[in-house]
Amino acid sequence: MLPNTQARAPTTRIVSQSVVPRDITEEFTQAASKLKTGQLVKDEYFTLFEAVGALEVGRNHLALAHCGEIEMIIDLMDTSHKQIMDPKMDSGYLGPEEKGKGLEDDYDVLRDLVPEEVVWIMDELLCHEMAWHRGHPLSQTLFTSIYLDKLLWPIPRTFDDTHFGCGSLATEKQIPDLVHIVLRAYCLALIKCCDFVHARVTSEFYYEVSSVQIERMLLTFFELAQEEDFSTQLYNRTLLSHFEYEHFSDVLNRAISWIDEQDTIDAAVRSAIKSRLQFRQEFLSGLQQDINILETRSVDKLESCLSIIPALRESSNTSRPVPESFSWKIQRRLASTVPPRPVVKISFEDALAHLKRLCQDGIHLNQVLDYGGPYNLKVAVWTLLSRKPQPSVYIRSLIQTIIMNRSTVLGALPVKQFIYDELAALVLPSSILLEANLDETEVPSDPRFQIAQLMDGFVRRFSQPFVDTFRSACLNRCRIRRTVCHTLADWDNLQMEAEDLDEQLRTLSEEPPLELPNGDTTYSYPLSSWAYHQKLIQFRLILQLGFELTIYAPEELPGMYWYLSHICSTHLGHIDRIRTFILAAVQRDRRSLAKHATLRKSFLLFDRLTTHIVAIDAFAISLHALYVLLSRHKVLPRAFAPNAYSNDQFRYELRMKPFLQITLPELVPYEEYNREATLQGDSDEVVLERATKAIGEARKAWEATLANGPFDDFNGEKPNAPAIEEDWKRDVKDTMRACIGASIAIETVKKALVNASGAAEPLNLRVNIPEAGSKSRWHDWWAVPQVSQAQTQSTKA
């Protein structure tokens, strides 16, 4: 075998005589010209595997680069291969501009830095830290710092080994004090902060872009960009997790004391360095508290961080850049299956903005810790995690742990009591099913003993799925919808299991039947009714998140808002059924005042739920009718050309895919859905009247919802959560603004219909549907169209 440095002559390509190449460009062009717009041609044997394999052609050629043949291979590749391949796919390849520089950086970490340079390095490290919090890999952020690399590799065995001269002949005495005392302390504390965050996130559910997914980024970029929000890969490095927190706190205290003694440093620069060390000290203490916030209830450290942020911003102009202290070449030494990638850079202002939100969310997290019943906890968690932008993955992971850790909710409440509180509030107020206890009844033949056994089995089976309905809110918005789509089928099975339990419990509790007006009798089925209630909530959540995530095309909006209204109507009917059985129980037992007080609380909760669902239902009806009018008169924008890719029935089957396996409520057949979604048989006047009436009811219902407030009265008290309550009110007010916008759009369409001379004449309207997240979209769940008079040619003239 020839050495890598010896030149080699290109090998002659041998072409078989049986292969006769010919130009097919003209034939291919003629065949392609016969295809209609939107028509697809696909070879059934050319699968996704072959498609990805085609992209790997260049990568396979570069496999020989490690043998020193990279130059020869590039010379032999044709132009198309050069466009696909990237020389950086080989981690050992050096471009023309890097010849003679080698794979290692020549930056000396033992060099003497001026204080302004230390300020810049600290700020740049903070930017990289916040970029990592936002989901970028460590290899493209913090691990590009040469200073951090020297601290982390080789892996230090003792804390004294964690200095910039580790692994070299240098000693601590050879390192400048500003670097060894101040910058080292900041870097070590930063690494420990990342260790606390990494440990918390990896202990809970999160979604990460894996190396395999990265290689498929070209095919699934948009999905990955929306659904994956954190990278925990450490690339065979350690975040010093084996060292105790006290070591890092001590070096920070020493650095702060040292910088106070340096009178020779400019006062402004010395103050800038000290403020950064103090911030790092407070931030490290706040992260170290972690789950202990359940006991301490202290947010002083995060509040201190917030108070220091203005000083960090004001003193950033005292820095002097040292860009050579960061290098992407370090990625070549990391244990990674992907090639080196560009360094991720975010501005210092963006980093401070993200840091400020993280601290504020951590402070307001304290308002979730006071237990006020399952309903109030769900409102508080959902409101906090629905902020825009959504709280960081660390905050969301911490909330997951707080919701349930070691079979306790909020660190104190047993999960059995948590689910019993939910049942007592909705379907079983003052019921013997919740009062039976194995500790008080020991005779197996006693019905109360058997009831207690069945209820304990119910808790074991249902507690985790029920708690997960709270924890799923801690995911990012895309993953919430996808997770709920999967758990919906599980709850359908749970409802059937609950129905079997209800039949057994009905016999043991001797529940009397309820006689219906038609003479038939029925029973309450409380457990399965509760499961059905949870399932209908998830139905609504899937549909409403679909509007927020812009899953539905404009032409699908009429049908999807009708389906949302259909689910709301079903839910309202189910709540009325539960209320009917509770009223019957009140009429049967009028003796206990305590029971009546409990029942009254349940009725108040029913009124709150009913008002909210009526508000959603009425708004959905009005938007459905409005979109039907816009679609009828062909002024509604379309995402799909006629006869392109699919049709309305195929799209309906796609949207209903999460509901196909659900037994109750039954899936609406397409024929019925199409008839109701398009309001077949109703004139424009009837549809317009429907929209006008419904939007009026919606505005009244949302006003009543706002007046009720976010929290229910649980045991005579409501949670004291002013920040969360303010966010909830802002969300409801945004919905009310959307109602006003819908009213204006309906009136505009009404005027256009009046001014139209004939039914066949198109309406002179221009329709724009604002994107979710834009300022013109008042609420992400309500895609209210902006309808305006279109300019005619005469108007333009």
Residue 365 confidence (pLDDT) = 95
In a domain, 357, yes or no: no
Chain segment 480-506, per-residue pLDDT in tens: 999 999 999 999 999 999 999 999 999
Work out the pLDDT band at 226, boundaries 50, 70, 90: very low
Place of tokens 């919090």: 133
Chain segment 186-217, per-residue pLDDT in tens: 999 999 999 999 999 999 876 664 433 333 33
55-69, 435-449, 775-789: range with lowest mean pLDDT? 55-69
**Which tokens in the block code for residue 115?**
């204080």
Rounded to 5°, the CA angle 677-679-680 comes to: 115
Work out the pLDDT band at 23, boundaries 50, 70, 90: confident
**Which tokens in the block code for residue 741?**
């916008």
Residues 491, 496: Cα–Cα separation, whole Å: 9
Chain segment 572-585, per-residue pLDDT in tens: 999 999 999 998 88
Residue 245 confidence (pLDDT) = 97
Residues 183 and 263 in one domain: yes
Place of tokens 């009223």: 583
Burial of 36 (0-12, 13-18, 19+ CB in 10 A): exposed
- Render the burial of 68-95: b for 16+ CB within 10 Å, e for the rest: ebbebbbeebeeeeeeebeebbbbebee
In a domain, 410, yes or no: no
In a domain, 166, yes or no: yes
Interval 231-240 mean pLDDT: 93
Residues 508 and 611 in one domain: yes
Of 98, 123, 143, which closes a domain?
98
Residues 570 and 669 in one domain: yes
Written as one letter, the residue type at 638 is R
User: What angle in degrees, to the nearest 10, is found between the helix axes of 593-632 and 684-708?
Assistant: 140
Residues 164 and 226 in one domain: yes
Cα 557 to the center of its chain, rounded Å? 23
Strands 404-405 and 786-789: unpaired
Chain segment 95-130, per-residue pLDDT in tens: 666 655 666 778 999 899 999 999 999 999 999 999
**Which tokens in the block code for residue 515?**
């006689």
Q: Where are the beta strands (DSSP E) in 243-356?
A: none
Q: What is the DSSP letter of 550?
A: T
**Which tokens in the block code for residue 770?**
């604002």
Residue 316 confidence (pLDDT) = 95
Chain segment 291-301, per-residue pLDDT in tens: 999 999 999 99
The SS3 assignment for 556 reads helix
Spatial CB neighbours of 485, under 8 Å, sequence gap ≥ 6: 542, 658
In a domain, 514, yes or no: yes
Residue 91 confidence (pLDDT) = 54
User: Max Cα separation, the chain?
Assistant: 103
Residues 68 and 122 in one domain: no
Residue 210 confidence (pLDDT) = 42
Residue 171 confidence (pLDDT) = 53
In a domain, 211, yes or no: yes
Place of tokens 């049709």: 647
221-230, 348-357, 407-416: range with lowest mean pLDDT? 221-230
For residue 722, which of 733, 714, 730, 732 has the smallest C-alpha distance?
730
Of 98, 128, 144, which closes a domain?
98
Residues 230 and 279 in one domain: yes
CB 723 within 8 A of CB 367: yes
Mind spelling out the 3-state secondary structure of 111-156? Answer: CCCCHHHHHHHHHHHHHHHHHHHCCCCHHHCHHHEHHHHHHHCCCC
Residue 99 confidence (pLDDT) = 57
Residues 587 and 676 in one domain: yes
Cα 464 to the center of its chain, rounded Å? 21
In a domain, 720, yes or no: yes
Spatial CB neighbours of 635, under 8 Å, sequence gap ≥ 6: 762, 763, 765, 766, 767
Interval 427-455 mean pLDDT: 85
Share of the chain above pLDDT 70, in %: 83
**Which tokens in the block code for residue 491?**
């709850």
Work out the pLDDT band at 714, boundaries 50, 70, 90: confident
Interval 256-279 mean pLDDT: 96
Work out the pLDDT band at 49, boundaries 50, 70, 90: low
Interval 391-410 mean pLDDT: 94
CB 143 within 8 A of CB 334: yes
Residue 760 confidence (pLDDT) = 58
Count of domains for the chain: 3
Chain segment 538-553, per-residue pLDDT in tens: 999 999 999 999 999 9
DSSP H stretches of helix in 34-138 = 48-55, 57-61, 70-76, 79-84, 115-133
DSSP H stretches of helix in 181-266 = 184-202, 211-215, 217-227, 245-260
Residues 604 and 751 in one domain: yes
Higher-scoring residue by pLDDT: 52, 430: 430
Residues 546 and 625 in one domain: yes
219-228, 428-437, 625-634, 713-722: range with lowest mean pLDDT? 219-228
Residues 382, 364: Cα–Cα separation, whole Å: 13
Residue 793 confidence (pLDDT) = 45
Work out the pLDDT band at 592, boundaries 50, 70, 90: low
Residues 94 and 120 in one domain: no
Interval 68-89 mean pLDDT: 42
CB 379 within 8 A of CB 605: no
Give 699-750 as a DSSP string: HHHHHHHHHH-S---BTTB----HHHHHHHHHHHHHHHHHHHHHHHHHHHHH
In a domain, 420, yes or no: no
Residue 30 confidence (pLDDT) = 86
Of 98, 131, 158, which closes a domain?
98
In a domain, 723, yes or no: yes
User: In terms of residue numbers, what domain contains 92?
Assistant: 25-98
Residue 639 confidence (pLDDT) = 80
Residue 34 confidence (pLDDT) = 82
Work out the pLDDT band at 173, boundaries 50, 70, 90: low
Beta bridge partners of 786: 768
Higher-scoring residue by pLDDT: 610, 53: 610
Work out the pLDDT band at 6, boundaries 50, 70, 90: very low
Work out the pLDDT band at 459, boundaries 50, 70, 90: very high
Residues 199 and 52 in one domain: no
43-57, 142-156, 570-584: range with lowest mean pLDDT? 43-57
Residues 595 and 685 in one domain: yes
CB 365 within 8 A of CB 293: yes
Contacts 24+ apart (CB under 8 A), 290-299: 290/196, 290/200, 290/398, 291/398, 291/401, 291/402, 291/405, 291/411, 293/365, 293/366, 293/369, 293/402, 294/369, 294/402, 294/410, 294/411, 294/412, 295/411, 297/366, 297/369, 299/362, 299/363, 299/366
221-225, 325-329, 446-450, 691-695: range with lowest mean pLDDT? 221-225
Spatial CB neighbours of 322, under 8 Å, sequence gap ≥ 6: 113, 117, 120, 121
Higher-scoring residue by pLDDT: 370, 640: 370
What is the Cα Rg of the chain in Å? 32
pTM above 0.75, yes or no: yes
